[in-house]
Amino acid sequence: MRYLVVLEGNAPATPPPAALMEGIMKLGEEAARAGVMLDNGGLAPSAAGALVSADATGVTITDGPFAESKEMISYSLYDTRTKEEAVEWTRRFMALHAEHWPEWTGEARVLKVMGPEDFAAPPAGVPS
């Protein structure tokens, strides 16, 4: 099962400590060796993005930055056997932040990416 983890946070004015970055690199290497890390990357501040909305009146495009107090900072895409396994990789990632950058606050959302297993098979005799 694939899980998308999105990190949101309030970054202090200081850059992340070197020990945190080293820990993140080691954890990423471990996840890649375990075959569960499919992709990951940092995200630019919302000022570099846009919000595209749709409703009955049409489509609206709003350039960033967005009003939310937290910024989306990074993402990871895991392929794990269970949700609990994806949550554990995420817990370890967040624990590195708590240990090496205690003044930073944030949260990580673990979101299941839907796949064919999430949809019911068509009734017998109905082409798929």
Instruction: Collect all residues with Cβ–Cβ distance below 8 Å to 52 and sequence separation of at least 6.
Output: 59, 60, 61
Q: Rounded distance, CA 53 to CA 96, Å? A: 35
- Give the pTM: 0.85
pLDDT one-digit tens code per residue, 23-67: 999 999 999 999 999 999 999 888 999 999 999 999 999 999 987
The CATH homologous superfamily of the domain defined by 2-116: Dimeric alpha+beta barrel (3.30.70.1060)
- Reported as a single tens digit per residue, the pLDDT across 67-83 is 776 889 999 999 999 99
- Mean of the per-residue pLDDT values for the chain? 92
- Residue labelled with tokens 């989306």: 72
Distance CA 123, CA 128 (A): 9
C-alpha angle 105-110-113 in degrees, rounded to nearest 5: 150
